[in-house]
Chain A
């Protein structure tokens, strides 16, 4: 056991008290937790200099297991709280972990306006196509025709493309990957943490217990294999013909640009006004 404790990732976990975690067997949230921890361990950030904020949902249980400054907040309002932390301590790395329903349905307004302002937050959005914790209601990303407890005869709502939404709102780092591509997820999270500005990493995940069971997707391993087939790199996706594009989605980095950051701009405004006042007096 001494070698296990030497491994750096276990310094970042509250592993003596909180494990095993609450997520179902085969849930992808644990893979994302591992990817986040490993990305932070590679960057060698100080524990006290990171804040992890989450709302309500399966994925939002993540701050319970990590040994950073953590905040478990209202449903959908995680980005609003994170903005507050970022304004008070601009040097702090603020990570927001949300689900698809948390960020795009209930907290949709916070999400788009944080992206528009380009606040230096790292949003890790775990997209499992359903509200898992609250009992399997359909979310904005449930596919057309899929069953959930509130759409027992099939969903008729069109699907939200979260990466397109973030790019349309003006996010400066947008990437999508899946839980099967765990090492890629780790690399994207690392790049998102290093990026200055609003960065979104959407991680497609499998919910074998609620979504998989309602839609006959097979067990956890089967759902992971489906993700492996359906997630296509951006360049390869462009070459596919229309019929093959059905059920498939792109993965990779969609956008990475430099743009002025909001809290920095705000601080500059304060300094310039103070100087002006000093001149007038």
Chain B
């Protein structure tokens, strides 16, 4: 059946999900990703990588909008953001 306008609640909401991969051995600890993330998802970790820098670490993935800003501002190509839009079935 075709409606002349979309009834409320008919459309399934899209939820953005994804993953953040950090290639820690490439990181040089410039902390751009931590400083310029609008939602404060990343923090500098206490661990060391093989070059002796502190790579970033994901704290709360639920805050992340997966806009990929950290990926584009990373000077070392060390962050990869994979974004998926998932339809959720309402019950």
Contact = CB atoms under 8 A, between A and B. Distances in A.
B57 interface: no
A170 interface: no
Interface residues of B, number: 25
Given A3-B21, A3-B80, A7-B82, A34 B74 contact: yes
A118 to B, nearest CB: 31
A25 B29 contact: yes
If over half of A's interface residues share one DSSP class (helix, strand or loop), that class is named, otherwise mixed; here it is helix
B48 interface: no
A35 interface: yes
Contacts of A27: 75
A28 B78 CA distance: 14
B25 A20 contact: yes
A15 B69 CA distance: 21
A21 B82 contact: no
Contacts of B51: 20
A3 B22 CA distance: 12
B76 A220 contact: no
B53 interface: yes
Interface string A79-110: 00000000000000000000000000000000
A280 B60 CA distance: 79
Contacts of B78: 20
A30 B72 contact: no
A172 interface: no
7 contacts: A4-B80, A10-B80, A20-B25, A20-B76, A26-B28, A183-B69, A224-B32
